A and B are shown apart, each in its own frame.
Chain A
Amino acid sequence: MIICHNICKTYAHGNSRKRVLKNINLAVKPGDRLALLGRNGAGKSTLIKLIGGVEMPTSGKIIRHMSLSWPLGFSGGFQGSLTGYDNARFIARIYQRDYLQIKAYIEDFTELGQQLKMPVKTYSSGMRARLAFALSLAIEFDCYLIDEVIMVGDQNFSRKCQHELFEKRRDRTLILASHSTSLIRELCNRALIIDQGKATEYSDVDSAINVYSHL
């Protein structure tokens, strides 16, 4: 169970302030597959970062009763100057997992080969996404936070994600920010639209997508 209670988030830059999220209330039950919809800059990523504990809400409370992945997205989670292997070793250490097992898994899943010996900053966004997905799948979380990232991958990567995350781990919880309505229709059973800092939940995914297309 993940409960967001009255979350507000304000960013301050110098003297100007921007209220990105206003009083968001949300409860995610185990097995839920929640889509976050909204235009660019609506606050989808911010909400995912708050749920993931990367940033703190300005006010309000987030209660987490399951293990959550870090937000899998274009950035974050890695040290750019370290190699793929070193990052994997670091992550294995802090999540207390066996490095050799994780290493074998990422080699197989990412298919990056020699590139894993290169610093992560030299990776393309698709390659980073592969590594992040591989690591989070190897660690096995109850809930995966995914920020727009599935679409950057190629066919092969989408197929793997499809198989590993959406078929083999069908019972897991998912919070997914995406603009791909077909993907959301296929994967999610709940949808939330974020607009003007407010979140509105729709009874079914189709009607949410319908509203979203007219934003």
Chain B
Amino acid sequence: MTQSSLRKLYAGWRVQVRVIHALMIRELHTRFGRENIGFLWIMVEPLLFAGLVAIVWRFMKGPTEHGVSVVAFAVTGYIPITLFRHGVSRSVAIFTANGSLLYHRQIKIVDFIIARFTIEMLGGMMAYAFISSILIYFDQFPVPSDIGLLIGGWLVYSFFCFSLCLIIAPLSEMSEVLEKFVPVTTYIMLPFSGLFTMASWLTPEIRAYFLWSPFVNGMEMMRKGIWGDQVTAYYNIWNPIACGLITATLGLALCRRVRRTLSIT
């Protein structure tokens, strides 16, 4: 009995992997087409964003701030934030937009979110690797002192972003008002994302509040992984993991609920 249900679970898993793979390829085709650089476009947007902001900051703030390179600091901040903002904005109305594909029973609504988010995440990682390699070559970016911590930070940060997408997607189907609030909310939360500052640059009182944010914890991990002993980082890896787990559970429950009422033409 348990063995047959395990086999069933495995078979279901294989189907979902296949579906997500197919959805990702489809998404890349519809979004970027096959002309010129094709799917490489996925990294262009985060790249442009991080690159241009870094240049602006360089002229506004000078070469270094708190002992770290301004350009590198901007890049390490803007690539993760792009993942968050794109992930969330692409989750809005994602079920209705892909509704016609729900004709195929093996496609589950969560597959849409996973497929889109994975694309954003791959794009972000490619942009990160690309821009940092170039900047390292020109000596504008430190060679990461602890690559494991950098990747770990990226993963927990992404996990928390993904769990938010799991909530935003079903909520946007339940209420159209939400759609109007998403851009302003993602903008308002920028200061609490760890984008502009490290926790150690703040006063201890503010820092205590600042570290409640799961984004900050992920960001601190990534930056510690890059600069190592040059910076002091404050983080608790369990914060983004725990917040992500709670949010994801809630999100999955909402998805299940919304699926029952989804009407597809």
Q: Mark A residues whose CB is within 8 Å of B.
A: 11-12, 49, 52-56, 58, 68, 70-71, 75-82, 86, 90-91, 93-96
Query: Shortest distance in angstroms between A78's beta carbon and chain B's nearest beta carbon?
Result: 6
Question: CA A118 – CA B105 in complex, angstroms?
Answer: 26
Residues in A whose Cβ lies below 8 Å from that of B259: 56
B21 touching A81, Cβ below 8 Å: no
Q: In the complex the two chains form, is B100's CB within 8 Å of A96's CB?
A: no
On whether A77 and B26 interact (CB within 8 A), knowing A11-B263, A52-B105, the answer reads no
A70–B264 contact, CB under 8 A? no
Main secondary structure of the interface of A (DSSP, over half): loop
CA distance A86 to B34 in the complex (A): 12
A12 to B30, CA, bound (A): 32
Q: How far is the CB of B39 from chain A (nearest CB, A)?
A: 14
14 A-B contacts (beta carbon < 8 Å): A12-B261, A54-B103, A55-B263, A56-B259, A56-B260, A56-B261, A70-B105, A79-B30, A81-B30, A82-B26, A94-B18, A94-B19, A95-B104, A95-B106
B26→A90 contact, CB < 8 A: yes
Q: How far is the CB of A102 from chain B (nearest CB, A)?
A: 13
With a CB–CB cut-off of 8 A, which chain A residues contact B21?
93
Nearest CB on B from A185, distance (A) = 29
- With A68-B105, A82-B29 as known contacts, state yes or no: A76 contacts B265, CB within 8 Å: yes
Give the contacts of B231-265 with A (CB-CB under 8 A). 259-265
- Residues in chain A near residue B100, CB distance under 8 A: 75-80
Residue B9 at the chain A interface, CB threshold 8 Å: no
> B22 on the interface (CB 8 Å rule)?
yes
- Rank and list the top 10 A-B pairs by shortest CB-CB distance, nearest first: A93-B22, A77-B103, A70-B103, A53-B105, A76-B103, A56-B260, A76-B100, A94-B22, A81-B30, A90-B26
Q: B105 contacts which chain A residues (CB < 8 A)?
A: 52-54, 68, 70
A103 to nearest B CB, angstroms?
Answer: 16
Please give 15 more A-B residue pairs, beta carbons under 8 A apart, in addition to A76-B99, A94-B18. Answer: A12-B261, A52-B105, A55-B264, A70-B104, A71-B103, A76-B100, A76-B264, A79-B30, A79-B100, A81-B30, A90-B22, A91-B104, A94-B19, A94-B107, A96-B18
